[in-house]
Amino acid sequence: MASLTPSPQSVEDTFRNHLLSMTLGVAQTQLLSVAAELGIADLVKDGPRSIEALATELRDYAKFMGSVWLHQTWPHLPESVRTGGSAFEALFGQPVFTYMQSHPGEAAEFNAAMSAITRQESVVLQAVFDFSTTQYLVDVGGGLGLLLATLLRAYPSLHGILLELPRMAEGASAVLEPEVAEGRCQIIAGDFLASVPAGGDVYILKRVLMDHDDAQARALLRNIREAMHPNGRVLIAEPDLASQYGTSFDMLLLVVSGTSSRIRTEAEMWELFTSAGLTLTRSLAAPPTLRLVEGTPS
């Protein structure tokens, strides 16, 4: 009688199955998007905690990743790989953030997705980095202020500054209103490539540096180096290239923005820090999505 016990997969079979699964990645993205759009998770939100997490934290991000305009861009990835240019810009005739300015619906979808992922990552960053000794935290390019608000509420003695472009800074007022009223927070509208607020002892950039080329990133880090407290630190939080999410997200940056946007390796980050007058002191995994890189004045 033949054995019903399955034979173990060979390394070759395992690798082949992984490749086949990768070819269906777009289907997985669309399934998540459909589930989010239909609110399926909401229907079972009183069930196990994992379902609640999907209902409250994954929905907006999944909807964004499955959006029509983003889906239309992916088939042009080979062009980006060949040329290093933005497939999005070639398809739509303008950079993605210019496109957002004239498409408020897509912009709202993007901001909701970033807010959803920030809620998750704010908790993770608290677990990885101790902010209890920080007096003044400057969130550079901090969007609507969700990360800063989370940290201010977790550390009652902490004071913070949010630096953002005027349009985003205006939206952050509602999120940070209690902390602003208490005198623990300032919202500053400005361009971080021109200058950053002085005197902070920790400057944090979450998913910011990856959106800028080396010249812009160097200028930003130099601005921080000049503005920071002598014993200050800069924290760069970006997707972890060591994870499957990080490598996939790097491909998303390529197809949307070309090679001007990318997640840097630790060696590339070290060179960038050095050129800006900073020393890379440590690199910490912040699973499941992030890696936190710390720098101090040289």
Please indicate, yes or no, if residue 253 is contained in any of the structural domains. Answer: no
pLDDT value at residue 48: 56
Q: What is the dihedral of CA 102, 103, 104, 108, to 10 degrees?
A: -130
Please indicate, yes or no, if residue 177 is contained in any of the structural domains. Answer: yes
pLDDT value at residue 39: 57
Please indicate, yes or no, if residue 34 is contained in any of the structural domains. Answer: no
Show the CA angle centred on residue 289, arms to residues 148 and 12, nearest 5°. 175
Please indicate, yes or no, if residue 293 is contained in any of the structural domains. Answer: yes
Show the CA angle centred on residue 292, arms to residues 291 and 297, nearest 5°. 145
Confidence of residue 119 (pLDDT cuts 50, 70, 90): confident
The tens digit of pLDDT for each residue in 175-186 reads 999 999 999 999
Report the number of distinct structural domains present in the chain.
Answer: 1
- Alpha carbon distance 218, 274 (integer Å): 9
The one-character DSSP state at 298 is: -
The tens digit of pLDDT for each residue in 145-159 reads 999 999 999 999 999
Please indicate, yes or no, if residue 41 is contained in any of the structural domains. Answer: no
Confidence of residue 218 (pLDDT cuts 50, 70, 90): very high
Cα separations (Å) of 295 from 32, 140, 205, 281?
37, 15, 12, 5
Look up the CATH number of the domain holding residue 184.
Answer: 3.40.50.150
- Alpha carbon distance 226, 220 (integer Å): 10
The tens digit of pLDDT for each residue in 10-66 reads 666 666 666 666 665 766 776 676 566 555 565 555 665 465 555 555 778 878 888
Share of the chain above pLDDT 90, in %: 60
Please indicate, yes or no, if residue 214 is contained in any of the structural domains. Answer: yes
* pTM of the predicted structure, to 2 decimals: 0.81
Q: Which two tokens stand for residue 124?
A: 């993770």
Please indicate, yes or no, if residue 2 is contained in any of the structural domains. Answer: no
- Alpha carbon distance 106, 70 (integer Å): 10
Q: Which domain holds residue 125?
A: 121-239+261-297
The tens digit of pLDDT for each residue in 191-207 reads 999 999 999 999 999 99
The tens digit of pLDDT for each residue in 80-111 reads 989 999 999 999 999 998 999 899 999 889 88
Q: Which of 27-36, 84-93, 243-252, 288-297 has the lowest mean pLDDT?
A: 27-36
Query: Which of the listed ranges 20-29, 57-66, 233-242, 246-255 does the model predict with the highest average pLDDT?
Result: 233-242
Query: Which of the listed ranges 217-221, 252-256, 287-291 does the model predict with the highest average pLDDT?
Result: 217-221
Please indicate, yes or no, if residue 33 is contained in any of the structural domains. Answer: no
Q: Mean of the per-residue pLDDT values for the chain?
A: 86
